[in-house]
Amino acid sequence: MKFVYFDASAGLSGDMILGALLDLGVAPALFKKKMGGLGLPVDIRVRETRRSSLRALKVDVLVEGKKEVERNLRDIKEMIRKSSFSPAVKKNSLSIFEKLFEAEAKVHGRKLEEAHLHEAGADDALVDIVGTCFLAEALDINRFYCSPLNLGGGWVKSSHGLLPVPPPAVAELVKGIPIFSAGAREELVTPTGAAIVTTLVKKFLSFPEIIYQKIGCGAGGRDFPGFPNVLRAFCGEAAAFEPDKRVYLIEATIDDSTPQLLAHFIETALERGALDAYLTPVVMKKNRLATQLTVLAGVEKLEELIIVIFRETSSIGLRYYPVERRVLPREIRKVKVGGASVGIKVSFLDGREVNAQPEYEDCLKVAGRTDLPLKEVIKQAAETYRTKFTPKSGRRRG
């Protein structure tokens, strides 16, 4: 299984996504053959081009005839279900189209079954969406990630007239994900492209620490001076991608909360996904005694934990910043103490065991059931582990 991280700093569209994925190693002839199964009157052309001196693949879907095609969601579903693609490709394609139709229906004030698509519902969009899902399957990609989306700026012509960037359908689709505008006063994210990534992408995050083996480049339809209209797809083994490796340290200094409230906050923060949370006594301005709250949070929990601090404490301001960390691989092994199971957290450095520590909560439960002192339970758990396992190999003794 593989991952793809899209660098959408120059925006993205359906054809750019196709170009980037094809550039990762799928033969254009195979792609054209599979798309032929949709029975569309189109001519698909794949060519190498340049955008601001950067090489990329450009995919053009030429629709035969000049009459614009309009389709509703029922039409789309029927075409996809009748095709010869795998169940996974059909399912993902339908999910993307459903999201696209829902956005169009909302911005135009129509019921879902009444909505129809112009540019996005034409034959080229079917190739873009079904083609993306097929290429993901062909490349064995099961995880998509993406950078914040550069939407561009200015105005764009559409079948509904002149619209501001982002167009209403795009603005609806990108709710809740990071966006920005830079580099060009043009539409850089199309409705089709937005529907694809907001359906398939697992997380939107700034360029993470990754190990990749291939880069695919898909060209957009315009060549901006000094601004490469290119979507890059970084592809690697899924097991090597740790999107949450970077963490954030959140700090707040408080001089007007009771110990009970602060203790409750620590419990709440850990329950809500904090990697760590602790309190430190400090001296503030005017020599006031206070407490500094420190919370370690993954990217995906940052906003939620900031809200927890404001809701559960009297803080009216905080600071946060990214930090790097290293975590040893670890596993839990079980031993018996007083007839009950106790977990031993074992950590490794370069494949060798360097630490083994009984789990506190397990030991506490055993102490409560057996009337043994907690320190005795911890001691027995550690001794039982040393007897049962060989520290260097991690294997049971014969």
User: Residue 53's pLDDT is what?
Assistant: 86
How far, in Å, CA of 287 to CA of 302, rounded? 31
Which tokens sit at 33? Answer: 């053959």
Q: Is 395 a member of any domain?
A: no
Helix then strand then coil, % of the chain, to nearest 5: 35, 35, 30
Give me the mean pLDDT over the 7-22 stretch: 97
Q: Is there a single domain that holds both residue 302 and residue 378?
A: no
Structural domain range at position 92: 2-240
User: Residue 135's pLDDT is what?
Assistant: 98
Q: Is there a single domain that holds both residue 176 and residue 291?
A: no
Give me the mean pLDDT over the 57-69 stretch: 80
Which of 282, 299, 323 is the last residue in one of the domains?
A: 323
Q: Is 166 a member of any domain?
A: yes
Q: Is 121 a member of any domain?
A: yes
Which residues lie below 8 Å from residue 157, measured CB to CB, with a gap of 6+? 163
User: How confident is residue 245, by pLDDT bands cut at 50, 70 and 90?
Assistant: low
User: Residue 207's pLDDT is what?
Assistant: 86
Q: Which of 145, 176, 358 is nearest to 241 (CA)?
A: 145
Q: Is there a single domain that holds both residue 235 and residue 261?
A: no
Q: Looking up tokens 């910043």, which residue turns up?
A: 321
**In which element (H, E) is residue 276 found?**
strand 276-283
How far, in Å, CA of 39 to CA of 93, rounded? 16
Q: Is 89 a member of any domain?
A: yes
Q: Is there a single domain that holds both residue 105 and residue 177?
A: yes
Asked if the model's pLDDT at residue 156 lies above 70, the reply is yes
Q: Is there a single domain that holds both residue 166 and residue 277?
A: no
Which of 186, 206, 240 is the last residue in one of the domains?
A: 240
How far, in Å, CA of 180 to CA of 8, rounded? 11
Q: Is 161 a member of any domain?
A: yes
Q: Is there a single domain that holds both residue 255 and residue 376?
A: no
Q: Is there a single domain that holds both residue 199 and residue 113?
A: yes
User: How confident is residue 192, by pLDDT bands cut at 50, 70 and 90?
Assistant: very high
pLDDT in tens, 306-363: 999 999 999 999 999 988 877 888 899 999 998 899 999 999 998 899 999 999 999 9
Asked if the model's pLDDT at residue 119 lies above 70, the reply is no
User: Residue 67's pLDDT is what?
Assistant: 63
Q: Is there a single domain that holds both residue 145 and residue 116?
A: yes
pTM for the whole thing?
0.68
Q: Is there a single domain that holds both residue 126 and residue 12?
A: yes
User: Residue 167's pLDDT is what?
Assistant: 92
Which of 186, 214, 240 is the last residue in one of the domains?
A: 240
pLDDT in tens, 90-99: 999 999 999 9
User: How confident is residue 305, by pLDDT bands cut at 50, 70 and 90?
Assistant: very high
Q: Is 396 a member of any domain?
A: no
Above pLDDT 90, what percent of the chain? 71
Q: Is there a single domain that holds both residue 271 and residue 138?
A: no
User: Residue 393's pLDDT is what?
Assistant: 46
Q: Looking up tokens 């939620």, which residue turns up?
A: 304
Torsion angle (degrees, nearest 10) of CA 360, 362, 365, 369: -120
User: Residue 122's pLDDT is what?
Assistant: 73
Q: Is there a single domain that holds both residue 149 and residue 208?
A: yes
Give me the mean pLDDT over the 110-133 stretch: 81
Q: Is 397 a member of any domain?
A: no
Q: Is there a single domain that holds both residue 318 and residue 197?
A: no
Q: Is 110 a member of any domain?
A: yes
Q: What is the CATH number of the domain that holds 287?
A: 3.30.70.1380
Q: How many domains does the chain have?
A: 3
The lowest-confidence range among 190-199, 234-243, 285-294, 374-383 is 234-243
Summary mean pLDDT of the chain: 90
